[in-house]
Amino acid sequence: MTGERTPHPDPKARGGFIGLNLRHTKAHLTRAVLEGITFGLRDSMELVKASGIEIRELRVNGGGARSPFWRQMIANIFGLPVVTVNSTDGPAYGAAVMVASGVLGKEIPALCEEWIRIVDRVEPQTDNVERYENYYRIYRTLYGTLKDTFHQLTDLVQQD
């Protein structure tokens, strides 16, 4: 909603709802926001995959990771298992592992094996993976289609 960084470094990019009709409710709009965020995250993963890195599962943490609904959505949109681990403080815990490595003289992978445990795993649902793949293809076209409009709107708002 305040610009985009990956894969489109564009501070004028904005969010939007496409395809609304009279049957849509607040619940549909809420779900669409979660789907849009998750499609944006998938864009980043596609860049990683294009560099030749194989991704077999996703690990999520933080506030959104507490939602079973969103974890299932992530698994379906990415087409990969989603796991949560015994620490909800991802970046801070990672920093602590790095410090402990230096203090204890242990390698980081060994500490991770010792300290980090998977506590939940969500598998993608085949039917939903296929459905979301179709939506993702459309999503990927939207930035190119709307870029000029985003820029015109941003420029108009700045003039007001």
**pLDDT at 1 exceeding the cut of 70:** no
Query: What's the predicted TM-score (pTM) here?
Result: 0.87
pLDDT band at 4 (very low <50, low <70, confident <90, very high): confident
Please name the helix (run of DSSP H) or strand (run of DSSP E) that holds residue 119, with its range, or none: strand 118-122
pLDDT band at 54 (very low <50, low <70, confident <90, very high): very high
**pLDDT at 75 exceeding the cut of 70:** yes
Q: For residue 7, is the peptide bond before it cis, meaning its omega torsion is within 30 degrees of 0?
A: yes
In the prediction, which pLDDT does 138 show? Answer: 96
Of the CA atoms within 13 Å of residue 102, those in its CB half-sphere come to 5
Average the pLDDT over each of 52-56, 80-84, 156-160 and give the range with the smallest value: 156-160
